[in-house]
Structure 1
């Protein structure tokens, strides 16, 4: 009993001591753990349920097409990331008037961008043969065209609405942002479950469920919270100030270039796998990735509040807090990496329990995915903190170089080593990012950064 009381006292002290910035981060982390725990559970339940609703081949096709449509997210020109930093800096300076203008201007600019993208994409879609592009049966070409049309409509609407979730992140309300996703997932899970009992599965129906529900949930929550809790930031035409576009875009364009390079490096993997090994390989890759990605998701829960917290600390020149925080996060990463080792050892048992006989995941793929996720999680640590500071030029150069060479390299290695060949390339990218990120962050925290290390 004494031990329990002592532990409770330590937990109470942990969550009630520190600067206001630190306390805000801690609260968001503990809430996010609970919310993300639900999210992970729901996502794991959704995989076999969805495969059962359609089949492994159709699910692989869905993953490929949806990831392709996801490319359009990169055409926000990095404005959401630029908005996040500029909005957070305005809040740190207690300039609510400027913060309101950043919100309204970002909504206006993204609406113009994504309505234009939507019209162009629908026009181009009418001329494309998706079965030929993805190397699939020509008989499903018409269905794929309809699937793409529905996906792009909901995606563009969602891209505009996501300004609200970015606002929550900038306000260091990451738990609330995560809660919106969980509500969407729970709604999707419920609908998919009902459909498995009442309807025959199809790609088009799957598209409406996964894309439409997410968009509807975000729309309703945005309207409700802007009308109540965040009324002072509600977007209005009178607050739109296109002169701020240059300020947002100046930083945003760097994020945009990074996003385009990431598109070439990471988002083409499903298409390469589909064309080289077939759509079932896409399913195997993504199921294995989903299992190990729980590690990166865990670290992301912790890191996400620190992006805007670092923006705040860097704006007010609180270097001591930044150094202390970086050391704590490095220790946490070590613990998370040990957790990944445990996941690797039990992975065969977990796959059997999770999937039954639906899929067979080779242990060699689990090892490769384990290495990839561990390296990626460390790179994420550097990326989140450096993104918060706004020093992203080195990241941009690294990803640009690999953006050029990654596709032919992945195709070559995929043909020679299968799915593991894809992971060889992506792991190498993050490993190099880790090396340069470590050097750059150390220089910034020690106030010795000059030239490109400070840009």
Structure 2
């Protein structure tokens, strides 16, 4: 009976809702595996390279990860345009968007790697991160390895973006989990056979997932997604205007978000030291489990909103909005439970490796709470492509973020630095709620409709 009721619930609703529910459930299962792997991999990695080197690794990899978003917004613009073409039955248009995006991002990759080679010649990472000069040469090698892998990922990620645009994020999650699992096995073997080395760590965590993604793309383009497989004869650079019109706004939004959020590791490392970077990231990783659950639910609804908005299905959009807002409300008591049990969890997870202050735990939990509410509205609005207000909010905060967060970190440590990004998500949530209300009631005019 339980099985029958579950299947009845799973298949209840229109095709868009059923597809979303199936992907959410499968994604939950895969994300559970991903969380278990990520929890196990942290203490193993810290043992492998020690807490200080791990903090350096977190700082450097977060800095390099900025570059993975420097695709001029092409993947985000592509996601909406592909979903729109598919919703309207334009198979050839969808294939043109796939082929054109791959070629455009390959050109970006070549330019990106050329700049990295030049930049890496002049950078002194020890001075930049305020750490011992003995790390400098090693970090130059690590920087190039990670940057190269992120560059390849810029191109390869077109495939996972297409999967998400096709409202099948579970397949993209499976590919990610496979890369994560192989990385976990590799780092475990390295701890048994080699001495801690940041270059090996970089190859393991950056190179292996990209390799798995490339192999998966080739296999699925030859089978299930053969109809959309990229071909040079379908490249139309004139289509870039449609992608970049929306994608350009996403580019500036994401770039601004990077300045606000990813800059935190750099500031913490310079002001408080790499060990504190480790403390913050471990606390964030603990509460990020709940955020990942929320994102699993939100992910298929981005492209579902693209389809619904293209077909003017406002009733469905209003219904889904209420359910997703309830998801945000339910996260409040769950975060409270996580705060109360955090010390117990840290003890089991990390033992005596790292001590995380309770004040930092509470601050990160509050930050995650408003990040959840901000994302709920951001995902739905992103599906409609009306992102001009987001653009303004994030650019304004990006301009003022560095001096304010540096001052707050010097005064009140990590808890101080979290004030500004938390405020950003509060504003995102409030403004996003107002804009979404106008969009789904077909009353958006002016900047609310751009």
Normalised to the residue count of structure 2, the TM-score between the two structures is: 0.99
Measured after TM superposition, the shift of residue 75 of structure 1 is: 1.4
User: 1:265 aligned to 246, 251, 260, which one?
Assistant: 260
Give the Cα separation in 1 of the matches to 2:426 and 2:241.
33
- Check conservation: 2:69, 2:154, Cα contact below 8 A: no
Q: Once superposed, what is the RMSD of the aligned Cα atoms?
A: 0.9
Give the whole-Å Cα distance in 1 for the aligned partners of 2:413 and 2:16: 46
Q: Is 1:348 the counterpart of 2:343 in the alignment?
A: yes
Cα deviation, 1:300-337, whole Å, max 9, x if unaligned, reads 00000000000000000100000001011111222222
1:435 paired with 2:430, answer yes
User: How many aligned residue pairs are there?
Assistant: 450
Distance 1:405 1:285 in 2: 22
- Measured in 2, the distance between the counterparts of 1:332 and 1:129 equals 45
1:161 to 147, 153, 156: 156
1:50 counterpart SS class:
helix
2:418 to 423, 435, 440: 423
TM-superposed deviation, 1:9: 4.3
SS of corresponding position for 2:70: helix
| Aligned pair partner of 1:397 in 370, 388, 392 | 392
Residue 103 (structure 2) pairs with residue 104 (structure 1): no
Q: Is the aligned partner of 1:276 residue 2:271?
A: yes
Map of 2:24 onto structure 1: 29
Secondary structure of 1:94's counterpart equals coil
1:165-184 counterparts in 2 under 5 A?
165-184=160-179
1:59 is the counterpart of 2:49: no
Give the distance between the partners of 1:384 and 1:454, measured in 2 at CA.
Answer: 16
Measured in 2, the distance between the counterparts of 1:407 and 1:10 equals 53
Aligned counterparts of 1:418 and 1:227: Cα–Cα separation in 2: 52
Q: What's the CA shift string for 1:345-378, capped at 9, x where partnerless?
A: 1001000110000010111111111110010001
Q: Distance in 1 between matches of 2:80 and 2:130?
A: 41
Mapped partners of 2:185, 2:229: distance in 1: 32
Q: Moved runs in structure 1, 4+ residues, more than 6 A?
A: none
**What is aligned with 2:242?**
247
Deviation at 1:234, TM superposition (A): 0.6
Q: CA deviation at 1:263?
A: 1.3
Structure 1 residue runs of 5 or longer lacking an equivalent are: none
Structure 2 segments unaligned to the other structure (5+ residues): none
Other structure's SS at 2:104 match:
helix
What are the within-5 Å matches in structure 2 for residues 82-93 of structure 1?
Answer: 82-93=77-88
1:366 and 1:127 mapped to 2: Cα distance? Answer: 38
Q: 2:10 touches 2:21 (CA, 8 Å); kept in 1?
A: yes
Task: Note the alpha carbon deviations across 1:38-83, whole angstroms, 9 max, x for none.
Answer: 0111111111110011111000000111111111123101110000
1:418, distance to aligned residue in structure 2 (A): 0.5
Residues 234-275 of structure 1 deviation map (CA, whole Å, 9 limit, x = unaligned): 111101000000000000010011011111100100100000
- Structure-1 separation of matches of 2:249 and 2:166: 22
CA distance in 2, matches of 1:337, 1:182: 28
In 2: Cα distance, 1:276 partner to 1:191 partner: 33
8 Å contact from structure 2 (residues 126, 133) kept in 1: yes
- Cα offset, 1:10, TM superposition: 3.6
Residue 218 of structure 1 is matched in structure 2 by 213
Aligned to 1:326: 321
Using the TM superposition, give the Cα deviation of residue 11 of structure 1 relative to its aligned residue in structure 2, in angstroms.
Answer: 2.3
Aligned partner of 2:365 among 362, 367, 370: 370
Looking at structure 1, the residues matched to 443 and 242 of structure 2 have their Cα atoms a distance apart, in angstroms, of: 26
